[in-house]
Amino acid sequence: MNAPSASAPRDYSVVIPAYKAAGTLSRALDSVFAQGLPPAETIVVDDGSPDGEEIEAIVARYDGRVTLLRQRNQGPAAARNHGCRVARGHWIAFLDADDSWLPIKLERQLALADDPAVALIHGRARDERAPLPPVLDLPRLWERNRICTSMVLVRRTAFEAAGGFDEDPALIGAEDYNLWLRIAAAGWTIRAVQERIGNYTPAAGSITSQIERCATSEIYNAEKIGALLGFDADRIERKILSIRTDFGRHLLYARDLPAARRMLAGPLRRRPRPGVVQLWCATFVPAALLDLRRRLRSRRPAR
């Protein structure tokens, strides 16, 4: 790890990949220019989007403050890498076109940037009860990813040393987690701002298809990054079973009971812990009864 001096500049570039983003891009860009600490530059990468003309028109409204790059459709990893190759800032802030920032985001993050060992600073994108780990190392990050890409500020030298995002199409949906793991494995420090600094508002779509696609990408990522980092087969398998359990829970919540059952089959067979068995059994309960239970639980007074 080649850490810069403690006096490294704090200028930052914003990189926004855009695909079918005409409906949300203005909100994202407005949140960039509302920052208390303004960016050195803002780059939008049109990833072969069918609404490219609309994206161009939106960018034009910002009077030269936004650079528009174009490429054929290659996915978010390639779009972010393209933007980063052009960016000049010492720090790079990622923002998806359907998300937005609070005005204090970069001010809060750059306050944590003095330590030359810090490569990545993230923060809350939603109101959650559980606090973010103030510092993440590789074992803790491997256990669970709580880093939202749109809330990430990464040191340029660390990004380049890691080789940027892996553009493997099979990783789409997990390409960000793959990079965070590689940065942590290189010995860099990952820190978190504890307060909410933005809004995670993904575009609407098929909830079930998104869950299943993301699960497939996460499993592939565990296999690929686990092999790269030299993890033993048991450690990789435990991670995959954990992924399947988590996504089985999401599918159960989305009420796709057959898909949840398929997702939970591996954990049930290989490591049938009580929580897994309970989830599995719930997939056989009629959706109407599950919905009734959800409504009753939501009416309980907060403690």
Q: How far apart are CA 49 and CA 74, in angstroms?
A: 10
**Cα 149 → chain centroid:** 4
Contacts made by residues 225-231, CB under 8 angstroms, sequence distance 24+: 225/178, 225/181, 225/182, 228/182, 229/138, 229/181, 229/185
Question: Please, what sign has the CA dihedral across residues 143, 149, 150, 151?
Answer: positive
Tens of pLDDT along 24-65?
999 999 999 999 999 999 999 999 999 999 999 999 999 999
Q: What angle do CA 171, 119, 24 make, to 5 degrees?
A: 55
pLDDT (tens digit per residue) in 228-287? 999 999 999 999 999 999 999 999 999 999 999 999 999 999 988 899 999 999 999 999
What does the alpha-carbon distance between residue 202 and residue 96 come to, in Å, rounded to a whole number?
9
Domains by residue range for the chain, with CATH: 12-199 (3.90.550.10), 207-285 (no CATH)
- The pair of three-digit structure tokens given for residue 159, joined into one six-digit string: 């990004």
pLDDT digits (tens, 9 = 90+) for 115-143: 999 999 999 998 877 899 999 999 999 99
Structural contact between residues 46 and 70, judged by C-beta atoms closer than 8 angstroms: yes
